[in-house]
Structure 1
């Protein structure tokens, strides 16, 4: 679905209604026109309101028939500039804490996703048919959260659990695919299909022997051939799934295919692999590399990016890998970094104008080997800089509690 931002009109959030096609949102005089989609529920509008969104941009042509759009006059929606530096600081503080409600919603969504994924796996294991309607509403909510503040989503999904890898991996792949799709300016229906495809992409593994699936080490050639059968099982499982879009099917069935035709289950070649199939391969590998497993610790994003690039151009699409790295950022939201003064913190908020200078939530000092006062440091206005990414395995303390607001 294509839209032209120049044809959009600015309206008050109070006049936004279900069915309108939103091409941008305005928060603290910053306009984001990169995320477009139709408002699918009143809950989505309430979420925008709760995040202090006062104005949105809508496209009349792409909105549903019957939507009454009331453009603001030239005098409306104009706020006076801050009078003093103190005023600016006062206005900026709530922005940091206003994300608490968004992060709470992100936690709720991810918890629901894990429950949903477990139920889908159980249904499949018992040879019962899948019904996409169960995850339809969840996918809609995921898109709405990502539309407002994907930073909150990534901070929550950055937390890992070794004991439920299959569920964690499915949820993370869904979230990453939505983020990647947004970056590529895909429409909301495609984003929804990416989310659904991500949740079910490893459904065939319920048919793999547990000893092979959970083996703490390298698989033998025979075991690897058995593991590869999970994609054959997936083909059989989703064949009768009602309401599954072609995009969701491609995500599920193509994430182990390679451009040179050496992938599985069908050995598809470059000219047979659509964009979403190529995207799913990149995202699946990235999340697997950065995840903690019972037999290995997850690597940093920087290390994972190097491996992704080494797999181009034979296995992965080089252009898409670069776009994925640009989308996630060298220091992804939720990742750990060390600063030039020895402090360690979580990448909390991105700076769109300067991706290498995000906001860091500092909580520990590697230099002094102790916790520090929790502070939010905006590197854009600081003399400090990031010196390296930190893998969770190398940190001597548990960072999990600091992912909460």
Structure 2
């Protein structure tokens, strides 16, 4: 393997000098994958400073000879207290957390399926059960985020509607937490995510499950699911306004071209803007009857293309940084050809998570399962990949 695959190093802007090879930049806690290249002059560095760049990610092996690369070491911070009013959770092993997360996902699928059956039969939904499940989901995000993210990343094409609702709820909680929302707001976001597609119970199966492009008439029929949702939510007097916004606004667009109400930017609260971002991202990365899911990096590019007319640009960048350029649970290929699951995130150095290696694309064979922390390795991530690019089922490796 060529030496150019060596470690990326996080460097403060004040320690950046001409000759360093920059692969990414960080502005206001937002990481952008820059066009890779060597810094040519002090003028280029001044330009980065003027753009409020705080840190850069430097590939030391591709920098000019003789240039000393000094890695930034973040100060040690005390662990935040997530819920001062609650008894602190006892830390458990990843294996136990993973089993609990798996059980929670199974429970959530059962409940969402029950809700869909109830709404299809025009029966009243039990929001109390949804609220209880939301509390459990919030605890999982707060106390075992990597485990729940890994289990939520497992997708089955024939369970899309169930898994999509659960993932939207989990992503909204994760997103809201990163924005500093209070627990009650997170709970309302979770409830809204779990029920956001209830209107689809009234859509014809031949349209909803069509394995091909929809005709204009079929697309208009699909859009009716938001009209049905409006009618269904009118019967839920105890549903929080935040949950309503999530449910009713995830297909609205800032320029007014969305549906069902054609709301414009000044009419959409932050909760509605968040739900549209999360809904699109999860739909893009999931396998559907008519398409294969794409990698996280491909989905991010589409989200960015939809700004600023359809999606809130500032929130899109915050969402990407919130779940990580390489989200926990996603698949990546490393510079040495190994394929693995992003197993543990790294908030301080997001380009260097812990990877659970399972396969070699270079040799086209399974390898001994091992964990590699990229923070302490010369190996780097080459690219994000989608499960459908592999010729085997990755599900067993998530346990």
Normalised to the residue count of structure 2, the TM-score between the two structures is: 0.79
2:44 is the counterpart of 1:49: no
Matches within 5 A, 1:6-405: 31-33=78-80, 35-36=82-83, 38-39=85-86, 48-51=89-92, 98-404=93-399
The Cα shift of 1:32 comes to: 3.4
How far apart are the structure 2 equivalents of 1:30 and 1:373? 36
Decide whether aligned partners of structure 1 residues 243 and 38 sit closer, same or farther in structure 2, where only a CA change above 3 A counts. farther
Decide whether aligned partners of structure 1 residues 37 and 217 sit closer, same or farther in structure 2, where only a CA change above 3 A counts. farther
Q: Which has the higher contact order (CA 8 A, sep 6+)?
A: 2
How far apart are the structure 2 equivalents of 1:35 and 1:192? 15
How far apart are the structure 2 equivalents of 1:35 and 1:114? 27
Question: Which runs of 5 or more residues in structure 1 are unaligned?
Answer: 1-28, 52-97
Q: Does the aligned pair in 2 maintain the 1:130–1:238 contact within 8 Å?
A: no
The Cα shift of 1:144 comes to: 1.0
User: CA RMSD for the aligned pairs?
Assistant: 1.4
Decide whether aligned partners of structure 1 residues 180 and 37 sit closer, same or farther in structure 2, where only a CA change above 3 A counts. farther
How far apart are the structure 2 equivalents of 1:313 and 1:307? 12
Secondary structure of the structure 2 residue equivalent to 1:337: strand
How far apart are the structure 2 equivalents of 1:383 and 1:311? 36
Q: Deviations over 1:241-300 (max 9, x none)?
A: 142100000000000000001111011110010001000000000000000112211000
Secondary structure of the structure 1 residue equivalent to 2:90: helix
The Cα shift of 1:390 comes to: 1.2
The Cα shift of 1:352 comes to: 1.6
Q: Does the aligned pair in 2 maintain the 1:130–1:242 contact within 8 Å?
A: no
The Cα shift of 1:177 comes to: 0.5
Decide whether aligned partners of structure 1 residues 152 and 31 sit closer, same or farther in structure 2, where only a CA change above 3 A counts. farther
How far apart are the structure 2 equivalents of 1:126 and 1:295? 27
Decide whether aligned partners of structure 1 residues 289 and 37 sit closer, same or farther in structure 2, where only a CA change above 3 A counts. farther
Q: Does the aligned pair in 2 maintain the 1:133–1:243 contact within 8 Å?
A: no
The Cα shift of 1:351 comes to: 1.3
How far apart are the structure 2 equivalents of 1:225 and 1:151? 39
